[in-house]
Structure 1
Amino acid sequence: MPEARTFSEFIRIPIRFYQTIGEDLYEHRSPYRIRRLLLKSLLYLGFLNFNILVVGEIIYFVKALNSFATVLEATGVAPCIGFSFVADFKQIALTVHRRTLREHLDQMEESFPKTAMQQVEYKLPQRERVMRRVMGIFALLCLAYTSTFSLYPALKAAVQYWLLGAPVFKRNFGFAIWYPYNATEKTWVYWLTYMGQVHGAYLAGVAFLSADLVLVASVTQLCMHFDYISRCLEEFAGRSESSSSQEDLQYLQALVVKHAKSLELSEHVNRIFSFSLLLNFLTASLTICFIGFQVTASSTEDIVKYIIFLTTMLVQVFVICYYGDELMTASQRIGDAAYNQNWFDCDRRYKQLLAIIIMRSQKPASIRAPTFPPISFRTYMKVISMSYQFFALLRTTYSGKGN
């Protein structure tokens, strides 16, 4: 039997990503004061630089809208602004709910199966394998998008200048941002500005990515607990003999407590992530729309970058909706498992506890955003439908003006 996994190993990926931008979710446990100060400085300076870049993007976008000749440039900046807003507000939500998040992680660690035998019973290896594949694909796409946009201009210019014999090194940027100074006139100014863009893009990608990875890890563990409760209910047959009915009752009471605790943890997830999820879905349709428009109207060189961006956004929305659907299904299954038990000849108190479990499962645990129904595959289809409607409108408007 393999060695037992720890909760720290289970949630390692988002924790490590956050630390690369200076955000330490376990800061309160660290005894190293200087390390905490260095990480905080990295985080604050990084977000200061990032938000200055966002302001520059907004100014560029407004200026580009003033002329029809630059509308395509404006629609190219719009998805980046939307992505930046979501990354910013995810970090704000994390900061506002930091205490709740720490309590949530502590409680998740407390309820995490500790021994190798327990982890096999909970089917942790299978759950973790799927979770890591999802995290790996999403992280690869998200970082591929930010890296492609930020690093491609310098790599292209270097190849043209050093290998193909171009007369000058073209000083271009990956993102269209307005600067109050000439960012390409002097070499040191250009590279300093360029490095600022690269770091800002990486920080946005990690802030956007890591919040969703924490959500995925939380929902994975909750689904694991709900599935375990369902299996225990299905496999356990209550008995009517007075000698054993008390033991049955105690067993079922433990499952009721575990069920209630899992429902409480699912509410923690909603308190922490509901606002960022709301903004995420509100901007996702417009962002996907603008990216799709760029794919149909840009040059071949830019199409590759925007296809990566489009794939990233589609996968991100799909992942959230997939895990939302999984959470609802896993929690609903508990009521079915309780009803399918051989409870006919059981003690009256046992039946009452089963009824409580069934009633609780009628309102399944779910991921929710304010004013939105519980997130599921229906939400994904709605986002895609709205994106296509916006895209068709934008495409028709642009074609009409062009004629």
Structure 2
Amino acid sequence: MKYISVIAYWINSDVRFFTSLQHKVISRLRDNLEALYPKTKEQRKDYNVNEFYWPRLLIFLVRTYIITAVAIVFEPLCTSVFNVHMVSSNMATDLWLVCFQMQICMHFNYIAKSLQNYKPHRNHDKEDREFLARLVDKHNVLIDLQREINRIFGGSMLLSLLNSAVVLCFVSLYVEVQGLNMDGVSMLMFTCTSTLQLYLVCYYGQLVSTLSEDLMHAAYCHSWQDASISYKKFIIIIIRRTQEALELSAMGYLPVSHETFRRLMTIALRVFVCIREMIQT
């Protein structure tokens, strides 16, 4: 069971490593997000940059992951180097994904807030429509960037979601059989950090869906009553466009969200209970 978990983690890490080799597309994605990033202090304040920049959960995950990595790689040199490669590839790819996704969420939050606080009036119809056009253009750019994220990271995410349930199940069985000795404690720490890593990705997958849906509510709830007829027509179009929420997707097969995380944990727990009962019988 221990070696099955290690092999599954090794395959998962190598797939993430090859995902990270897409230097050009990742650099292009980073440059596009950098171009959208608010430049001035006032803009950063409007965008609530601090709310989308390295949250405590992410910092805790990085620190815990490093401690876990040190515990895992406390073996002969060759094994240690190999394990460091696996841990670095696994963690670094998800860090890229989470950081990119945080910026997408930040821009969606800014668009929704700007639209909700805007007060159109029929006397300045041209300015109102120009305001909507800027938001729509930015929304289209964010949709393209989200699709690019799904295309780059979709394969590794799909394998990660499937492997995580397998690893969680077999590591739990290993700890159940071995008990809480030194090896069992390190494997238990590994399981906890891997689960936390998966939850963090699912959290931001859920957040981008929620914030994209907030655009529809912001368009409906803002003060459009005093606007011109043409402005109201544009608002209807925006509401129609935003009814289908954007999502972080694993190659289009599996949306990455809280529900996905819950289902994976449920499946892993059921398989663990079944195998444990078979062993005890």
* TM-score clears 0.5: yes
Structure 1 position 394, deviation (Å) = 2.1
8 Å contact 2:58–2:200 — kept in the other structure?
A: no
- The aligned length equals 280
Cα separation, 2, equivalents of 1:301 and 1:125: 39
Structure 1 position 204, deviation (Å) = 0.9
Partner of 1:394: 275
Q: Does 1:258 align with 2:138?
A: yes
Q: RMSD value over aligned CA atoms?
A: 1.5
Q: Which has the larger radius of gyration?
A: 1
8 Å contact 1:339–1:358 — kept in the other structure?
A: yes
Structure 1 position 129, deviation (Å) = 4.6
Aligned partner (choices 61, 64, 68) of residue 138 of structure 1: 61
Q: Does 1:115 align with 2:48?
A: no
**1:50-65 alignment runs, 5 A limit:** none
Residue 255 of structure 2 aligns to a residue whose secondary structure is coil
Cα separation, 1, equivalents of 2:234 and 2:39: 27
Letter in 2 for 1:147: V
Structure 1 position 99, deviation (Å) = 2.5
Partner of 1:147: 70
Q: Does 1:205 align with 2:87?
A: yes
Structure 1 position 319, deviation (Å) = 0.6
Aligned partner (choices 5, 14, 17) of residue 88 of structure 1: 14
Structure 1 position 393, deviation (Å) = 2.5
Residue 169 of structure 2 aligns to a residue whose secondary structure is helix
> Which structure exhibits the higher relative contact order, with contacts defined as CA atoms closer than 8 Å and separated by 6 or more residues?
2
Aligned partner (choices 168, 172, 189) of residue 292 of structure 1: 172
Instruction: Please identify, of 376-385 and 299-308, the stretch whose mean Cα deviation from structure 2 is larger.
Output: 299-308
8 Å contact 1:253–1:353 — kept in the other structure?
A: no
Cα separation, 2, equivalents of 1:335 and 1:371: 23
Residue 113 of structure 1 aligns to a residue whose secondary structure is coil
Residue 31 of structure 2 aligns to a residue whose secondary structure is helix
Structure 1 position 272, deviation (Å) = 0.6
Q: Does 1:124 align with 2:49?
A: yes
Cα separation, 1, equivalents of 2:230 and 2:155: 41
Q: Does 1:348 align with 2:232?
A: no
Letter in 1 for 2:82: G
Structure 1 position 371, deviation (Å) = 5.3
Cα separation, 2, equivalents of 1:93 and 1:210: 11
Give TM-score, length-normalised by structure 1: 0.67
Structure 1 position 240, deviation (Å) = 1.0
**CA 1:305 to 1:285, structure 2 compared with 1: closer, same or farther past 3 Å?**
same
Cα separation, 2, equivalents of 1:336 and 1:83: 41
Same amino acid, percent of matched pairs: 25
What 5-or-longer segments of structure 2 have no aligned partner? none
Residue 362 of structure 1 aligns to a residue whose secondary structure is coil
